[in-house]
């Protein structure tokens, strides 16, 4: 299937949902989770780092690992895929960006208020009273991956501060999930970019759009479980495929 077919769908669309995963930030140098050799879960144990039980058992291990991730992400810059998505948003005002990513590269590329389904590395909060905590300044001093770092104490109750991300077994922020489902149910095109589509309930979002009759374009170098619901599968890296797709938009807003 070709970019041309996808471009025809984009040109007709008035309400677009762009649903992104770690692959959209891969070409910014941020590792994905499940890519066979380079993904974070090939090197680290998700159960020991990305669950509430892990934080309870060893807060310094988990906090240190997330500070390392915040450093990596803080030094990264948006790539051509993030920029192309912001251009779609500028050209088609009814566009909603829904991301599973905990980086801020969509915002940095110019996307306005993307919906963060899995939280953010920049929104630490108290693990007990949930009061927001002040994020540390700057990109961090690059703790080695795996270096323990005692989390700061909450200014209100003294409990350890935790990363503001959604761990396995935790509920997604209700307002974000509801807004994403509503946008997917109401859109006339969904573009899914750089996600393996295996983490639920986020993976429902493209399925909701398809169920409500919207065409789905997928951008991913590899097949995923979402292939079957997609109208067009564009196999390639997001930073190459999306700029090509955006070339089809009217010149004023799109370039
Ligand atoms: C919940 C955030 C209930 C922090 C992450 C068994 C069956 C089904 C479901 C379950 C099950 N057992 C447990 C569950 C539920 C579980 C789940 O789905 N597990 C799966 C994995 C089996 N889900 C949960 O636990 C969720 N919560 O269900 O709560 C509840 C309800 C009420 C009350 C209490 C509880 C919470 C899930 C949140 C997990 N959080 N991390 C952090 O970042 O550390 S997981 C992680 O996965 C990331 O957040 C990421 O956002 C998310 C999705 O991953 P992707 O973004 O898709 O990344 P991935 O590496 O997988 O794929 C990258 C893709 O990019 C690949 O396809 C690759 O080919 C492609 N790519 C690579 N390069 C490029 C590219 N594409 C384009 N261009 C490129 N250049
Ligand atoms: Zn507190």
The CB of 102 under 6 Å from ligand 1? The reply is yes
In a domain? residue 167: no
Q: Which two tokens stand for residue 1?
A: 């299937």
Query: Do 98 and 194 contact (CB within 8 A), yes or no?
Result: no
| CA 31–ligand 1 middle distance (angstroms) | 14
Which atom of ligand 1 is found nearest the CA of 81?
78
pLDDT digits (tens, 9 = 90+) for 187-222: 999 999 999 999 999 999 999 999 999 999 999 999
The residue whose CA is least distant from atom 34 of ligand 1 is 171
Q: Point out the annotated binding site.
A: 66, 69, 100-103, 126, 129, 154, 157, 194-196, 220-222, 238
Give the pLDDT band of residue 171 (cuts 50, 70, 90): very high
Range of the domain at 96: 1-29+78-119+172-255
In 10 A of CB 233, how many CB atoms? 18
* Distance, CA of 35 to CA of 111 (rounded, Å): 26
| CA 11–ligand 1 middle distance (angstroms) | 30
Note whether 147 and 247 are same-domain residues: no
Note whether 231 and 192 are same-domain residues: yes
pLDDT of 143 above 90: no
Give the pLDDT band of residue 249 (cuts 50, 70, 90): confident
In a domain? residue 107: yes
What's the whole-number mean pLDDT along residues 177-187? 98
Note whether 137 and 209 are same-domain residues: no
Q: Where do the H-state alpha helices sit in the chain?
A: 3-12, 23-26, 40-43, 46-49, 52-57, 59-74, 80-91, 105-109, 174-186, 204-211, 238-246, 251-254
Which atom of ligand 1 is found nearest the CA of 197?
57
What beta strand segments (E) does 5-74 contain?
A: 15-20
The residue whose CA is least distant from atom 42 of ligand 1 is 165
Please tell me the pTM assigned to this model. 0.96
Q: What's the mean per-residue pLDDT of the chain?
A: 94
Q: Point out the annotated binding site for Zn(2+).
A: 126, 129, 154, 157
pLDDT of 124 above 60: yes
Note whether 100 and 9 are same-domain residues: yes
Q: Which two tokens stand for residue 55?
A: 């934080």
- List, in order, residues 6 or more apart from 109 with CB less than 8 Å away: 78, 82, 83, 85, 86
Note whether 144 and 237 are same-domain residues: no
The residue whose CA is least distant from atom 20 of ligand 1 is 199
| CA 155–ligand 2 middle distance (angstroms) | 7
CA angle 129/135/140 to nearest 5° reads 140
Decide which of 140, 162, 184 is a domain's last residue.
162
> Position of tokens 């948006």?
78
The CB of 46 under 6 Å from ligand 1? The reply is no
| CA 199–ligand 1 middle distance (angstroms) | 3
Look up 116 and say whether it is catalytic: no
pLDDT of res. 15: 98
Alpha carbon distance, N-terminus to C-terminus of the chain: 24
What's the domain count of the chain? 2
SS3 category, 158: coil
Decide which of 105, 136, 162 is a domain's last residue.
162
* Distance, CA of 142 to CA of 139 (rounded, Å): 8
* Distance, CA of 178 to CA of 105 (rounded, Å): 23
pLDDT of 136 above 80: no
pLDDT of 151 above 60: yes
Give the pLDDT band of residue 254 (cuts 50, 70, 90): very low
pLDDT of res. 156: 97
The residue whose CA is least distant from atom 43 of ligand 1 is 102
pLDDT digits (tens, 9 = 90+) for 11-25: 999 999 999 999 999
């Amino acid at each position: 299937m070709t970019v041309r077919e996808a471009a025809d769908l984009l040109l007709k669309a008035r309400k677009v949902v762009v649903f992104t995963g770690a692959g959209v930030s891969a070409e910014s140098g941020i590792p994905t989770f499940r890519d066979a050799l380079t993904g974070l879960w090939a090197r680290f144990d998700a159960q020991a780092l990305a669950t509430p039980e892990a934080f309870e058992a060893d807060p310094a291990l988990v906090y240190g690992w997330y500070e390392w991730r915040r450093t990596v992400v803080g030094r990264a810059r948006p790539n051509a895929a993030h920029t192309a998505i912001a251009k779609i948003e500028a050209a088609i005002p009814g566009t909603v960006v829904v991301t599973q990513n905990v980086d801020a590269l969509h915002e940095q590329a110019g996307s306005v208020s993307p919906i963060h389904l899995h939280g953010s590395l920049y929104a630490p909060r108290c693990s007990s009273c949930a009061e927001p905590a002040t994020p540390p300044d700057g990109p961090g001093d690059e703790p080695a991956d795996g270096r323990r770092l005692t989390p700061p104490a909450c200014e209100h109750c003294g409990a350890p501060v935790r990363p503001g991300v959604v761990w396995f077994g935790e509920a997604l922020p209700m307002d974000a999930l509801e807004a994403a489902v509503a946008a997917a149910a109401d859109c006339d095109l969904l573009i899914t970019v750089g996600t393996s589509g295996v983490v639920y309930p986020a993976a429902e979002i493209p399925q909701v759009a398809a169920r409500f009759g919207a065409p789905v374009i997928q951008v991913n170098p590899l097949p995923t479980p979402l292939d079957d619901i997609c109208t067009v599968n564009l196999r390639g890296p997001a930073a190459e495929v999306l700029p090509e797709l955006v070339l089809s938009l009217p010149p004023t807003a799109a370039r």
